[in-house]
Amino acid sequence: MLTRLAGGRVIDPAHGIDGQVRDLYLRDGRIIDAPSDAGGAHSIDVSGRIVMAGAIDLHTHVGGGKVNLARLLMPEDHRGHGYERTALTRSSCGHVAPGTLAAGYRYAEMGYTACFEPAMLPINARQTHLELADTPIVDKGCYAMLGNDDFFLRLLATGESQQRINDYVGWIMDCTHAIAIKVVNPGGISAFKFNQRKLDVDQAHPYYRVTPRRILQALARAVHDLGVPHGLHVHGCNLGVPGNVDTTLATIEAAEGLPIHLTHIQFHSYGSEGDHKFSSASGRIAEAINANPNVSADVGQIMFGQTVTASGDNMAQFRNADLGSPRKSVVMDIECDAGCGVVPFRYRDQSFVNALQWAIGLEIFLSVHDPWRIFLTTDHPNGAPFTSYPHLIRLLTDHAFRDQMLQKIHPDARAASTLGSLTREYSLYEIAIMTRAGPARTLGLSDRGHLGAGAAADVVVYRDDADRERMFATPEYVFKDGELIVRDGRLVKVTCGSVHAVKPDYDRSIEAPVAEYFERFQTSSAAGFRISSDELRECGSELIVHECRGASR
C-alpha cells in the first residue's frame, strides 16, 4: 500500500530539513521518493503538523533480570497503574517498572519506535531477549555489559594482547546479539565481590591489580577496533558520590580520544562544595563534553516522584540502599559475570539533594552545545519513568515553564544552581536530533532516525501545540514500518518490532579458551551460552544486522 502524508512540516535533521513543507510517501514499510503512481496513494492531510522520524530511546532499562526483580519488588507501584485489556491490546500494568506489554504500548503511543536496553548481562542475555520479544511494536537492541566478568579481567591481568580482547568482545556481541558494549563501574562490581566498597579510576582491583582506567582503555579500544558504530557506553566509577566530577573527567581523559559515551551523566556530575557538601559540577562536565568531540553523553534526568533504580552497579546500589524509599533493596552478585542492584527512590523537590540533581541534569542539557552528542534520557526508570519524556521536552523547549518549575524546588538548591540564568530553549529541530537522528547515527542504524528515501517508515506526526508536553505525549499519527499504529495518542494496531544488532568480525579461535574457562569455572557451558539466530526467532524476534565501520583489524 502507498501512503502519502501530505503537506506536513518535516523536521529531518539527518538531511538538514527544518520545517520544510513537503509530502512524504510510505510504501512496503519504507519511505520512498515521490513515485510515478502518487495519484493512487492513500493520502492523509497533515498540513500544519510536525512530521518527524520515530523516536529512539538509546538508554532505557526495559528488559532482563534486574528489570524483572524491580517489577517483583514494586507491587505497590503496579496496583495503581493497570492497563485494561481491549479488543486490540492485552492487559498489563506498572508505571516505574512496567510489564513489557505496557512498556511497548506506551512507548509506541508516545511516538517511540525503538528502545535500547543498555545493560544486558551476557549470562542473562537469553532472558533479556525473551523479554524484549514480548515488548510489542517497538524495535529493540541490547548493549552487552563487560568489564567486570572474570574472563575479561583475567585476559587483562595476564597481559593478553588487545587483539585477543577484541576477539572476546566480538564473540560476546555475536553470541548475545548486542549492538554495543557497555561497561558499568569498570572493575568495581567485581571488586565488590572481594568486599571492596569503592574503586577509583586509578585504583587497582583488589585481586586482578588492573585499574578501571585500564579496563576502560581496553574496552574502548576493542569497540573501536571492531568497528562497532557506538563508542564504548560508560557508566563510570563513583556513581552518585559527591565530588565524582573528578572521576568523570578522569574517565574522559582515560579514553585518550577513543569514542566513548558517558551514560546518565547527571549522576556523575557532582561537586562537594557548600554547606551540604553537595554541589553542581555541570559547568566542568559540559565544558569537557564540548571540548572533546570523541565524547557523547545522555543525561539521565531525574524527575520528582516515585521511581525504582535498577543498575548493574551493585557496589553503588548497596551503598545507596539506605537512602531508598520505600526502604527495601535487592543486591545480587551474578555468575562471575557482573551484578545488579535495585533500590526504589522517591525524588522530592523539597529535598536539597534531589532538587539539585534535577537542576544539574537540566544545566547539562542546556550547556552542551552540540545536540548530536547529548541525548534525552531519564535512564528509565532510574531518574524517572520514560513516560516523563514529554514533560522533560517542555522543560527544555520552554524557558518560562522551566522557570516556574524552578521556583518550586528547595530554595537552597535553586540558589546553588545556575539554571535560572540559562535562557536557552531547545528548538524542535534540536529535539529531533536528540531523540531521533542522533541516537540512530551513534548506534549505526542507517535506516532509522531519518526520513530519507530507503529509511524504515517509522514516522510520527504531531500537532504543533505550544504546550510541548501535550504535543509529545499524544502524537496524532504514529507509523511503524509503514503501518499506522497510533491515532490521536491511542493504539490502533499492535505489531512486533525487530532486534537491531551488529556483527563485528573476530577470530573464532577465541572459542577454545572460552570453552575451557566455562568448563573449569562456570556452571554452564560455552556452547549453551551462544544464542543462535534461529533461537532468537524462537524467542520471538527477527534480527536486523547493521554494518560495522570498516574494521581496522
Partner 1 sequence: MSARGCELSRAGFARQSAPGLATALVRGVPATLDQAVDAAAKILHGAVQPLIGGLATDVAGMRAAVELADRCGAILDHANSGAKFRNLLAFQDRGAITTTLAELRNRTDLYVVIGTDVVSRFPRFFERIGAPEGTLFGLKDAERRSVFVGAKPALDAPGPPESIECAREDLPDVLAALAALTAGVKLIAARAGTVPMDRLRELAGTMHRARYGAIVWAAADLDFAHAELGVLAIGRILTALNQTTRFSGVPLGGNEADLTADAVLLWQVGLPFRTSFATGRPEYDPYLFDAQRLLAQHETDALLWLSALSDLPVPPTSRAPLILLAGPNAGAARRADVYFPVATPGIDHGGHLVRTDKVLTMHLSATRHPQLAAASQVLRAISEAIRAC
Q: Which residues bind partner 1 (CB under 8 A)?
A: 63, 65, 67-68, 71-73, 75, 78-79, 82-85, 90-94, 97-102, 121, 123-124, 126-127, 130-131, 134, 150, 154, 192-195, 207, 318, 321, 327-337, 342, 520-524, 528, 531, 535, 538-539
Q: Which helix (H) or strand (E) holds 515?
A: helix 511-521
Question: In the complex with partner 1, which residue's Cβ is closer, 133 or 255?
Answer: 133
Q: How far is the CB of 347 from partner 1 (least distance, A)?
A: 19
Q: Residue 197's closest CA among 98, 307, 317? A: 317
Helix H segments across 25-149? Answer: 65-73, 75-79, 100-109, 125-133
Q: How far is Cα 433 from Cα 436, in angstroms, rounded to an integer?
A: 5
Q: How far is the CB of 524 from partner 1 (least distance, A)?
A: 6
Q: Residue 374's closest CA among 213, 262, 538? A: 262
Q: How far is the CB of 457 from partner 1 (least distance, A)?
A: 28
CA dist list (Å): 442 to 312, 445, 551, 553: 23, 8, 16, 21
Q: How far is the CB of 495 from partner 1 (least distance, A)?
A: 17
Structure-block grid coordinates of residue 206 = 583488589
Question: In the complex with partner 1, which residue's Cβ is closer, 156 or 434?
Answer: 156
Sign of CA dihedral 209, 211, 216, 218: negative
Burial 85-103 (b: 16+ CB within 10 A, else e): eeeebeebbbbbbbbbbbb
Collapsed DSSP state (helix, strand, coil) of residue 17? strand
Residue 63 CB contacts under 8 Å (≥ 6 apart), including other chains: 100, 117, 128, 131, 132, 135, 140
Q: How far is the CB of 303 from partner 1 (least distance, A)?
A: 20
Asked if 11 and 428 touch (Cβ cutoff 8 Å), the reply is: yes
User: Which DSSP category does 227 fall into?
Assistant: T
Question: In the complex with partner 1, which residue's Cβ is closer, 78 or 264?
Answer: 78
Question: In the complex with partner 1, which residue's Cβ is closer, 293 or 326?
Answer: 326
Q: How far is the CB of 514 from partner 1 (least distance, A)?
A: 14
Q: What is the largest CA-CA distance in the chain?
A: 70
- Length of the chain counted residue by residue: 553
Q: How far is the CB of 339 from partner 1 (least distance, A)?
A: 9
Q: How many CB atoms lie within 10 A of CB 157?
A: 15
Structure-block grid coordinates of residue 98 = 512496567
Q: How far is the CB of 76 from partner 1 (least distance, A)?
A: 9
Question: In the complex with partner 1, which residue's Cβ is closer, 454 or 528?
Answer: 528
Question: In the complex with partner 1, which residue's Cβ is closer, 126 or 450?
Answer: 126
Q: What is the CA radius of gyration of the chain?
A: 22
Structure-block grid coordinates of residue 242 = 559527591
Question: In the complex with partner 1, which residue's Cβ is closer, 301 or 329?
Answer: 329
Q: Residue 280's closest CA among 245, 235, 317? A: 245
Q: How far is the CB of 127 from partner 1 (least distance, A)?
A: 4
Q: How far is the CB of 79 from partner 1 (least distance, A)?
A: 8
Question: In the complex with partner 1, which residue's Cβ is closer, 38 or 332?
Answer: 332
Q: Which helix (H) or strand (E) holds 527?
A: helix 526-529
Q: How far is the CB of 302 from partner 1 (least distance, A)?
A: 21
Question: In the complex with partner 1, which residue's Cβ is closer, 168 or 426?
Answer: 168
CA dist list (Å): 292 to 236, 238, 286, 288: 17, 21, 10, 6
Q: How far is Cα 338 from Cα 352, in angstroms, rounded to an integer?
A: 33
Q: How far is the CB of 194 from partner 1 (least distance, A)?
A: 8
Do β-strands 459-462 and 50-53 pair in parallel, antiparallel, or remain unpaired? Answer: antiparallel
Question: In the complex with partner 1, which residue's Cβ is closer, 91 or 509?
Answer: 91
Q: How far is the CB of 69 from partner 1 (least distance, A)?
A: 8
Question: In the complex with partner 1, which residue's Cβ is closer, 340 or 374?
Answer: 340
Residue 261 CB contacts under 8 Å (≥ 6 apart), including other chains: 230, 231, 232, 233, 234, 295, 296, 297, 298, 442
Beta bridge partners of 307: 345
Question: In the complex with partner 1, which residue's Cβ is closer, 122 or 371?
Answer: 122
Question: In the complex with partner 1, which residue's Cβ is closer, 328 or 549?
Answer: 328
